[in-house]
């Protein structure tokens, strides 16, 4: 990506812009390339991003004019009164003159309402709901790629008179790699010649999860492949942790991070040192991508056309089957119409291993497939 450090014209003369997105982790991660870029495009404008406190640590190495504020809207700022107080406190602290709603839910609409009462300019994301319905309906699907969430975030700022050119190469842009000390709580630095692969096999909904027994075959295949390979398993607690921890005990060279709570900073630093990340359509796809790591994803009920591909991810790194019923859901939360989740079950572990092997060979040669981020994302 070409660098352009020339300030962009601020047509409305804005001084401070408040932006908000409270969930989910993947969606907040997708704001990073846009927020970092808009801040770099307009160094004389201050940008204040409010999100959940647990997500503030994602914003590593951010521009000096980007401030990230944690606000717990489920405990500290609840209901109309709480949101009014939140806007009042943010207004008093930062005196913002525009509000960029990157979420468009009842909570942020209420925030926008209170902003308008103070004669503050408001711009809200267009989620493209009609396009999503046409893409996921049972009959007569309109199989056309929708704008990505990142493109829609850019539109929000454009309507505030702040067109955005991408100026983001990753969270560690300007640094050779994340310091190994940043993930020392997880493991030691990587030995020369060792291949590091991350796997995040779970997602929020069943329609996005590759069968664990098949994913275990992928883990086994990586461990048995020629050359030194270390596999890192990313996941949550509970049943996910039980499964991933059992794989780590069973196979040599496998480390499970599931349920360990190392924090975003440490896990992002580790992701930055991976050769590849294999994930579902999930938050770990987006976290690895903004950490600067090539990401391969397995798609089931959802589809890259829905607009949620990872940052700078190419179509070649999306593993999916051409089925007329796909996508049946934007978020993978609807029951399978066939009842068998064939979109996931029919993907062979050998095919995933083949894609990983091919991608790693390209990385060794310094080659990467063409991303569409500069075009549609």
pLDDT (tens digit per residue) in 270-298: 999 999 999 999 999 999 999 999 999 99
90: nearest Cα among 108, 103, 62, 71: 71
Residue 78 lies in a domain: yes
Range in 98-112, 121-135, 173-187, 318-332 the model is least confident about: 173-187
Residue 149 lies in a domain: yes
User: Is the confidence at residue 46, as pLDDT, over 60?
Assistant: yes
Q: What are the structure tokens assigned to 297, written together?
A: 């994803």
Domain span at residue 306 reads 186-376
Residue 165 lies in a domain: no
What is the model's pTM? 0.94
User: Is the confidence at residue 377, as pLDDT, over 90?
Assistant: no
pLDDT of residue 370: 54
pLDDT of residue 376: 36
Phi, psi of 109 (to 5 degrees): -65, -40
CA distance 100 to 30: 15
Which residue among 158, 177, 196 closes a domain? Answer: 158
Looking only at the bridges linking them, the beta strands covering 276-280 and 318-319 are: unpaired
pLDDT of residue 2: 43
**112 close to 90: Cβ distance less than 8 angstroms:** no
More confident residue, 5 or 362: 362
On whether both 34 and 116 belong to a single domain, the answer is yes
pLDDT of residue 7: 60
299: nearest Cα among 290, 288, 310: 310
By CB atoms closer than 10 A (0-12, 13-18, 19+), residue 120 is middle
CATH number at residue 198: 3.40.50.2000
On whether both 249 and 149 belong to a single domain, the answer is no
Residue 103 lies in a domain: yes
User: How much of the chain exceeds pLDDT 70, in percent?
Assistant: 95
pLDDT of residue 364: 87
On whether both 252 and 372 belong to a single domain, the answer is yes
pLDDT of residue 176: 72
Angle between helix axes 349-364 and 212-224 (nearest 10 degrees) is 40
* Cis status of the peptide bond prior to 281, with omega within 30 of 0: no
Mean pLDDT of 85-93: 98
Q: What are the structure tokens assigned to 195, written together?
A: 């291949």
More confident residue, 339 or 13: 339
On whether both 307 and 196 belong to a single domain, the answer is yes
Q: Confidence band (pLDDT; 50, 70, 90) for 5?
A: low
Residue 169 lies in a domain: no
On whether both 139 and 217 belong to a single domain, the answer is no
Beta bridge partners of 69: 50
User: How much of the chain exceeds pLDDT 90, in percent?
Assistant: 90
On whether both 206 and 343 belong to a single domain, the answer is yes
Q: What share of the chain is helix, strand, coil (3-state, %, to 5)?
A: 40, 15, 45
Residue 171 lies in a domain: no
Residue 348 lies in a domain: yes
Q: What are the structure tokens assigned to 365, written together?
A: 């040669």
Distance of alpha carbon 124 from its chain centroid, rounded? Answer: 20
Mean pLDDT of 26-46: 98
What stretch of H or E contains 40? helix 25-41
On whether both 143 and 209 belong to a single domain, the answer is no
Per-residue pLDDT reduced to its tens digit, 195-213: 999 999 999 999 999 999 9
On whether both 102 and 190 belong to a single domain, the answer is no
On whether both 90 and 141 belong to a single domain, the answer is yes
User: Is the confidence at residue 365, as pLDDT, over 90?
Assistant: no
On whether both 153 and 201 belong to a single domain, the answer is no
Which residue among 158, 176, 194 closes a domain? Answer: 158
User: Is the confidence at residue 267, as pLDDT, over 80?
Assistant: yes
Mean pLDDT of 61-83: 97
Which residue among 117, 142, 158 closes a domain? Answer: 158
Q: Confidence band (pLDDT; 50, 70, 90) for 1?
A: very low
On whether both 144 and 280 belong to a single domain, the answer is no
Q: Domains in the chain: how many in total?
A: 2
Residue 61 lies in a domain: yes
On whether both 195 and 79 belong to a single domain, the answer is no
């Amino acid at each position: 990506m070409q660098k352009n450090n020339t300030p962009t014209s601020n047509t409305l003369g804005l001084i401070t812009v408040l932006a908000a997105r409270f969930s989910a982790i993947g969606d907040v991660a997708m704001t990073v390339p846009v927020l970092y870029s808009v801040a770099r495009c307009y160094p004389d404008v201050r940008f204040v991003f409010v999100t959940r406190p647990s997500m503030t640590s994602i914003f590593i190495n951010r521009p000096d004019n980007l401030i990230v504020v944690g606000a717990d809207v489920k405990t500290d700022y609840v209901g109309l009164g709480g949101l009014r107080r939140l806007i009042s406190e943010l207004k008093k602290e930062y005196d913002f003159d525009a509000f960029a709603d990157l979420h468009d839910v009842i909570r942020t609409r209420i925030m926008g309402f209170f902003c308008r009462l103070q004669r503050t300019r408001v711009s809200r994301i267009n989620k493209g709901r009609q396009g999503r319905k046409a893409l996921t309906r049972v009959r007569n699907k309109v199989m056309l790629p929708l704008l990505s969430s990142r493109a829609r975030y850019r539109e929000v700022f454009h309507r505030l008179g702040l067109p955005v050119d991408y100026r983001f190469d990753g969270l560690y842009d300007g640094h050779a790699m994340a310091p190994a000390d940043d993930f020392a709580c997880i493991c030691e630095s990587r030995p020369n010649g060792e291949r590091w692969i991350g796997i995040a096999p779970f997602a929020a909904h069943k329609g996005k999860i590759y069968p664990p027994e098949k994913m275990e075959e992928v883990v086994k295949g990586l461990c048995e492949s020629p050359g030194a390979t270390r596999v890192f398993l990313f996941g949550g607690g509970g049943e996910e942790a039980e499964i991933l921890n059992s794989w780590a005990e069973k196979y040599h060279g496998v480390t499970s991070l599931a349920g360990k709570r190392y924090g975003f900073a440490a896990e992002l630093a580790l992701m930055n040192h991976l050769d590849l990340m294999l994930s579902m359509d999930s938050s770990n796809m987006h976290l690895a991508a903004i950490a600067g790591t090539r990401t391969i994803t397995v798609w089931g009920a959802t589809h890259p056309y829905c607009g949620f591909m990872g940052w700078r991810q190419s179509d070649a790194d999306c593993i999916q089957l051409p089925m007329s019923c796909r996508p049946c859901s934007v978020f993978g939360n609807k029951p399978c119409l066939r009842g068998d989740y064939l979109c996931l079950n029919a993907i062979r572990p050998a095919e995933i291993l083949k894609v990983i092997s091919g991608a790693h060979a390209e990385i060794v040669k310094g080659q990467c497939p063409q991303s569409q981020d500069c075009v549609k994302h």
